[in-house]
Amino acid sequence: MGTRIHPTAVVDPGADLGQDVQIGPMCVIDADVVVGDRTKIDAQARIHAHTRLGTDNHVHSFAFIGGDPQHVKYKGEPTLLEIGDRNLIREYVTLHRGTVGGEGVTRLGSDCLLMAYAHVAHDCVVEDKVIMANAATLGGHVHVGTKAVLGGLCAVHQFARVGAYAFIGGKAGISLDIPPYMIATGTPAKLYGPNVIGLKRQGFTSEAVAGIEKAYKIIWRSGKKRQDAIEEVRQTCPDSSEVAFLLEFLQGTTRGVSADNQLAVNGQDIPLY
């Protein structure tokens, strides 16, 4: 088919376009932009300098890709935005480059779906197969794990982490880390247990899901101190790679981990509202 650039598009000669790229009407693409093979950029999308797009991406109209970070200390440094392959980036999505105060790069993995008005701020890392629903927003330096789902209008505080396979409800306010596999919603967000249905749909075995549920109950529902509960989980689930991944996430937290929506008192669960 060959690369096709609409006559009204403005593409700097310093942009590196791959094979079979499609550039729609009135797009603007700066120098020092790499657009991978078979990527499609719809009408009036904006791709800023220092952006790297992989193959087979689809950028919809009015998306704003690779803009300057929204940070008061940013002074025009040539930081990067790196985007993987086969991503679907819908209307009015904003993805900003990194800052020198971070690692200097914002990263979006492959096979992600960013719905309209989603925002990925400076220095974020969004791993593969993540779904961000409409107007989901990431503050700076947020890390989102593989196959996490972020509901519409949710907001994640800077430096917070959302673990792999987590499911965040719409309009949630995430100020602390959300562990892998968990459902969370509310403002501030509370945990509502493992995403059992979602995990099974993703091919997790019954044994793996049972191990995650057991770990969750010990850590969040036993009423024990967090570190004591983690040690108990290590002893009772020594062969579960999924549980080991969960514990590694908990041990790596710097902001703290969101609380459960229940409070264990004298062995009984009391809802928190």
Tokens of residue 28, six digits:
């603007």
Tokens of residue 159, six digits:
């430096």
Q: How far is CA 131 from CA 150, 165, 228, in A?
A: 6, 10, 34
One-letter amino acid identity for 168? I
Tokens of residue 117, six digits:
């008005």
**267 catalytic per annotation:** no
Q: Which of 123, 169, 177, 211 is catalytic?
A: 123
**122 catalytic per annotation:** yes
One-letter amino acid identity for 144? V
**140 catalytic per annotation:** yes
Q: Cβ(259)–Cβ(190) under 8 Å?
A: yes
Q: Which of 96, 122, 143, 157 is catalytic?
A: 122
Distance CA 101, CA 244 (A): 31
Q: Which of 140, 151, 152, 193 is catalytic?
A: 140
Tokens of residue 255, six digits:
């902001």
Residues annotated as catalytic (active site), given as ranges: 122-123, 140
